[in-house]
Chains A and B, each alone.
Chain A
Amino acid sequence: MIAVEARNLTKKFKTKTAVNKLNLTVHEGELFALLGVNGAGKTTTLRMLSCLSVPTEGEAFINGHSCRSESAAVKSEIGISPQDTAVAENLTVRENLEFIAKVYGFSPSRIKARTKEMIALFNMEEVQKTRAKTLSGGWKRKLSIAMALISEPRVLFLDEPTLGLDVLARRELWKAIEGLKGKVTIILTTHYMEEAEQLSDRIGIMINGRMAALGTRTELEQLSGQTGLENAFVAIAERNGAANE
């Protein structure tokens, strides 16, 4: 079943085209990585898919619901963890989770159960009573993802989930994301090759707002004639004029 579909998705900001006629299909349970350099259009794509930005042209669908005309239905099926840490700083980890569950109208018993599940899933027992503002970057990112997951979304958007984290915190977060594979459809943006390689089922390489290449790591290697994702990425990027930008 198709979970996410984009048809000629385009976003223009005055004279700049951030995303240009993007076509994409992500299947249910798949972990799809959008790989690209800064300014490639990854975050703009994610914003359009999560109803945070209206496409200039084209259309996007989440589980068959249009992002343009059925935003309420789309919003009830998605979770998003933005690039910057988006948590209520003066609330504790537990309170942040309960807050989001309440926003989605969960019953008190379901709020309790889901909060417990999220705390266990991300191993946050030791920090559950800690206020978010005193958490380290790694814990904050975990909390941010847990907040996106607590509403039981069918599609999860992770925008640069490990940006700015040290290697240990990054590995820890990878483990948590890998644990979600198959249970929820995930689209994550990253510019770390290792991250895309380690986590994703398929990778889309975005260059200057266009989907320059799309496939598994092996397919991208074959397409570029290079070995290793980084070499494949560089070859595809150069071929698509990224070096000239």
Chain B
Amino acid sequence: MNKITAFTYRNITEMLRDPLSYIFCIGFPLVMLVIMTLVNESIPEQAGMTIFQMKNLSGGIAVFGQTFVMLFTALTVTKDRSGAFLVRMYATPMTSLDFCMGYILPMIVISLVQGLVTYAVSFILSLFTSTISPVGLLISIISLIPSSVLFIAFGLLFGTLFNEKSAPGLCSIIISLGSFLGCIWFDAEAAGGVMETICKSLPFIYCTKTARAAIALDFSFDSFWLPLLIITICAAVLTTISSLVFRMKMKADLA
């Protein structure tokens, strides 16, 4: 446990001292939140477009922010792997599980802080637009943990398999897919057809659905519990895969 705590502390400190983490993990999602709120103000009520209303937008932006935590996870892992730092650490009694936990845990903390900031700003903005429940926001933050683990696991996987140049590129693909097919910017169920099928066959939409349902205090099985269960399973599977891949890569590095 000491090893995990030490490595977690190191990773979180390194990130907190990197200005890029603030820009990507907090700044950019907040900018998008403000811009989309302004866009929503320009949409006439008759259009019936609710996707950018604060009750829907805040949950979507919270998930959007998590995709940047994935990018940061990948960057942290690739940076450690490209230098001699991991070589030194491989010669210590740390195991692959210690490394994986040490990368995942601080990112969950960062993700929670990011969610808190996003929802705090959402709440303030909602005072000028449509009011949202602070209780719903708090529950939504907790319900975002499985989706944050899912994105962090993607980051760990890309960071383990690819180098500093290609990992961010792959993360950008997931950021685009996650935000578009996660229905942050459009309503797949309203669109229907092939688009809806594609969105529902990927995990991203369930992240957004869970966050939005919690904010709306809608805890029905279909709206909240089922998407939460799907995300939890996906996160568990992907975390296991990425941890196994890290272990295999570590073994290969030490061969």
Contacts and interface: CB of A to CB of B under 8 A. Distances in A.
A52 interface: yes
B247 interface: no
B83 A99 contact: no
Contacts of B7: 103
A84 B83 contact: yes
A81 B92 CA distance: 12
A131 B88 contact: no
Contacts of B87: 52, 80, 82, 86
B5 A88 contact: no
Given A83-B84, A84-B84, A102-B5, A89 B91 contact: no
A113 to B, nearest CB: 17
A85 B84 contact: yes
Interface residues of B, number: 24
Contact of B85 (A50, A79, A86, A103): A86
Interface in A62-102: 72, 75-76, 78-91, 95, 99-100, 102
B91 A103 contact: no
A91 B80 CA distance: 14
Contacts of A148: 88
Nearest to B6: A102
A104 B17 CA distance: 25
A105 interface: yes
A153 to B, nearest CB: 10
Nearest to B80: A88
A80 B17 CA distance: 27
Interface string A207-223: 00000000000000000
A117 to B, nearest CB: 19
Contacts of A50: 91
B91 A78 contact: yes
Interface in B46-96: 83-85, 87-94
A75 B255 contact: no
Nearest to B4: A103
Contact of A103 (B14, B17, B94, B255): B94
Contact of B93 (A53, A103, A144): A103
B3 interface: yes
A147 interface: yes
Contacts of B13: 90-91, 95
Given A72-B93, A91-B14, A100-B92, A53 B3 contact: no
B249 interface: no
A103 B94 CA distance: 7
B14 A88 contact: yes
A154 to B, nearest CB: 14
Contacts of A78: 91
A102 B7 CA distance: 9
Contacts of B91: 50-52, 75, 78-80
A57 to B, nearest CB: 14
Given A88-B14, A90-B14, A99 B90 contact: no
Contacts of B130: none
Given A102-B6, A103-B7, A54 B94 contact: no
Contact of B3 (A72, A88, A105): A105
A86 B10 CA distance: 14
A128 to B, nearest CB: 16
14 contacts: A52-B91, A78-B91, A85-B84, A86-B87, A88-B85, A89-B14, A90-B17, A99-B6, A100-B92, A102-B2, A102-B3, A103-B3, A104-B92, A104-B93
Given A82-B87, A147-B88, 6 more contacts: A51-B91, A52-B254, A75-B93, A88-B10, A99-B6, A102-B2
Pick the 3 closest A-B CB pairs, nearest first. Answer: A102-B6, A84-B84, A86-B84
